[in-house]
């Protein structure tokens, strides 16, 4: 199998995990590194690059051209609209979906000094930081995980927030000062889930990855992505979501906020585990009724932020 992947340390670690999990020996499969729009503009703000699929489009195009047999994505980077000719073949067991704070002085979020500077490229993280701590400063920061850690170490920032799953997969979780509680910061929809994308109708690829799919991760991610789609959001809007699969049921929490932290809206809902998309869509509708659409419309109207 030819496995399409981005070339960052994290993307390669994730794709190596998939390669080792495929039938046969790992040497029977090879990684094909593909640069995406997000990779080609490493210093530009994601909100300024704009558009959907900044980390996935070129990989999807290679899959459609039959240059690769499957693609490995961080699900949170993948647009909710399925690209014609492609399909999600498997969602793997979820790693910790929460965000992690790494601070130079070792202080947790609640005890950070007023004026502390936190780096993140995510409007979702920015919004929730400022919703809880408007006295902190948030600066836009791009780059892969090692680059972000290096910027923290050289003193340009006091702290950074990254996905805990990325630190875990890179064996860097010991660098985390604190795993952010979801009462403070909800993760991106699908965060912590690896997605394997294949061509529709490719029976060989489908069979090769069938046993890798995880039912719990699939139910949770389906609810979260249905919520995002129902809100009309994309990968870059300040929307957080976390579904938790229980015995026959799903609990879904969601957040929508302005990048300044206000206004913001947080709501919860529950439903049967067998209908995760219905749960996501119904919670999205409830949030729109409470003002979520106006918040997101204002965010989308901005040419760039900050």
Q: Are residues 75 and 208 in the same domain?
A: yes
Q: Are residues 86 and 109 in the same domain?
A: no
pLDDT, tens digit, for every residue of 86-145? Answer: 999 999 999 999 999 999 999 999 999 999 999 998 999 999 999 999 999 999 987 889
pLDDT of residue 107: 96
272: CATH: 3.30.160.40
pLDDT of residue 164: 98
pLDDT of residue 47: 56
Gap between the Cα atoms of 250 and 243, Å rounded: 6
Q: Does residue 199 sit within a domain?
A: yes
Longest dimension (CA), the chain: 56
Q: How far is CA 117 from the centre of its chain?
A: 23
Q: Are residues 84 and 113 in the same domain?
A: no
Q: Are residues 258 and 234 in the same domain?
A: yes
Q: Are residues 254 and 232 in the same domain?
A: yes
pLDDT of residue 306: 46
Gap between the Cα atoms of 17 and 21, Å rounded: 6
pLDDT of residue 39: 81
Q: Are residues 13 and 48 in the same domain?
A: yes
User: What range defines the domain where residue 155 resides?
Assistant: 99-179
Q: Does residue 220 sit within a domain?
A: no
Low-confidence ranges of the chain (pLDDT < 50): 303, 305-306
Q: Does residue 306 sit within a domain?
A: no
Q: Are residues 84 and 59 in the same domain?
A: yes
**Helix, coil or strand: residue 223:** helix
Q: Does residue 137 sit within a domain?
A: yes
Q: Of 37, 10, 180, 66, which Cα lies nearest the Cα of 112?
A: 180
26: CATH: 3.40.190.10
pLDDT of residue 43: 59
Q: Are residues 140 and 262 in the same domain?
A: no
**Helix, coil or strand: residue 87:** strand
pLDDT of residue 305: 47
Q: Are residues 137 and 271 in the same domain?
A: no
The verdict on whether 77 is a catalytic residue reads yes
Q: Please pick, among 28, 39, 77, 135, the residue that the annotation labels catalytic.
A: 77
Q: Does residue 133 sit within a domain?
A: yes
Residue 143, both tokens: 């780059």
Q: Does residue 135 sit within a domain?
A: yes
pTM of the shown model: 0.93
Q: Are residues 85 and 198 in the same domain?
A: yes
pLDDT of residue 4: 98
End-to-end, the C-alpha distance of the chain in Å comes to: 42
Q: Are residues 105 and 138 in the same domain?
A: yes
pLDDT of residue 44: 60
Q: How far is CA 289 from the centre of its chain?
A: 26
Domain closes at, from 179, 204, 234: 179
Q: What is the β-pairing status of strands 117-119 and 159-163?
A: parallel
Q: Does residue 53 sit within a domain?
A: yes
Q: Are residues 18 and 88 in the same domain?
A: yes
**Backbone φ and ψ of 14, nearest 5°:** -65, -40
Give bridge partners of residue 239 from the DSSP assignment: 256
Q: Does residue 142 sit within a domain?
A: yes
Residue 55, both tokens: 């980390």
pLDDT of residue 283: 98
Gap between the Cα atoms of 274 and 28, Å rounded: 36
Residue 37, both tokens: 């729009």
Residue 163, both tokens: 């996905």
Number of domains, the chain: 3
């Amino acid at each position: 199998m030819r496995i399409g992947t981005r070339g960052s340390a994290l993307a390669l670690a994730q794709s190596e995990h998939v390669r080792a999990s495929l039938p046969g020996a790992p040497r029977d499969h090879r990684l094909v590194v593909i640069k995406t729009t997000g990779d080609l503009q490493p210093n530009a703000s994601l909100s300024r690059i704009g558009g959907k699929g900044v980390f996935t489009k070129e990989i999807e195009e290679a899959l459609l051209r039959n240059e690769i047999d499957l693609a490995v994505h961080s699900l949170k980077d993948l647009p909710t609209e399925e690209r014609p000719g492609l399909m999600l073949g498997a969602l793997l067991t979820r790693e910790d979906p929460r965000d992690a704070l790494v601070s130079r002085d070792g202080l947790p979020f609640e005890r950070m000094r007023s004026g502390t500077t936190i780096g993140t490229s995510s409007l979702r993280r920015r919004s929730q930081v400022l919703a809880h701590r408007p006295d902190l400063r948030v600066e836009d920061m791009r780059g892969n995980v090692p680059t972000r850690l290096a910027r923290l170490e050289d003193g340009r920032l006091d702290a950074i927030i990254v996905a805990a799953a990325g630190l875990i997969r890179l064996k860097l979780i010991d660098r985390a000062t604190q795993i952010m509680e979801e009462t403070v910061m909800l993760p991106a929809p699908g965060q912590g889930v690896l997605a394997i994308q294949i061509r529709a109708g490719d029976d060989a690829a489908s069979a090769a990855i069938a046993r890798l799919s995880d039912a719990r991760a699939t139910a949770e991610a389906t609810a979260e992505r249905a919520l995002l789609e129902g809100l009309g959001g994309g990968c870059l809007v300040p929307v957080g979501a976390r579904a938790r699969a229980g015995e026959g049921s799903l609990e879904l929490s969601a957040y929508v906020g302005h990048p300044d932290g206000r206004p913001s809206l947080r709501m919860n809902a529950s439903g049967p585990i067998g209908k995760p998309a219905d749960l996501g869509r119904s919670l999205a509708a409830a949030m729109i009724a409470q003002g979520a659409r106006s918040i997101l419309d204002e965010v989308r109207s901005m040419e760039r932020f900050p």
